[in-house]
Amino acid sequence: MARTPTTHDPFNAVAEPKRRQVLAVMGTEELSVNEIVERLGWNQPSVSKHLGVLKQVGLVSERRVGRQRMYRVNAERLRPIFDWVTPFEQFWNERFDRLDIVLQEMQKKDK
């Protein structure tokens, strides 16, 4: 068996750094392929291929307008990643919680 395909889910699609770049450069706007190509400075087939993967996992939506294809980020598909990673936040915030307690104790002693 091989690696989980990039088109299998958002986790795999977004593992590729260039695909994260594509989403970043798109922001909240609806853009044509050429606009994305210009912003990234990559060649057109490369952009189209990455958009194809993102579309397959639902991370972008596509709308045809004349000979253009307008793409837009569908951020909700990132929610599984957000939901999965968020609980871990407490682990690196824990020390700050403890630091808060320490600081509170120090204040009490100062009084």
By the rule CB under 8 A, 30 interacts with its own copies: no
Sheet arrangement for strand 31-32: 31-32, 68-73, 60-65
By the rule CB under 8 A, 20 interacts with its own copies: yes
Instruction: Tell me the three state secondary structure of residue 84.
Output: helix
Distance CA 2, CA 74 (A): 28
Give, rounded to a whole angstrom, the gap between the first and last alpha carbons of the chain: 66
What is the bridge-based pairing of β-strands 31-32 and 68-73? antiparallel
By the rule CB under 7 A, 21 interacts with DNA: no
Question: In angstroms, what is the C-alpha Rg of the chain?
Answer: 21
Helix (H) or strand (E) holding 70: strand 68-73
By the rule CB under 7 A, 49 interacts with DNA: yes
By the rule CB under 8 A, 43 interacts with its own copies: no
Identified binder of DNA from the candidate list 68, 81, 84, 101, rule CB under 7 A: 68
- Partner in contact with 25, chosen from its own copies, DNA, none, beta carbon below 5 to 8 Å by kind: none
- The site for its own copies (CB under 8 A) is made up of 3-4, 6, 11-12, 14-17, 20, 28, 73, 75-76, 78-79, 81-82, 84-86, 88-89, 91-92
Contact residues for DNA, defined by CB under 7 A: 1-7, 16, 18, 32-34, 37, 43-53, 62, 64, 66-69
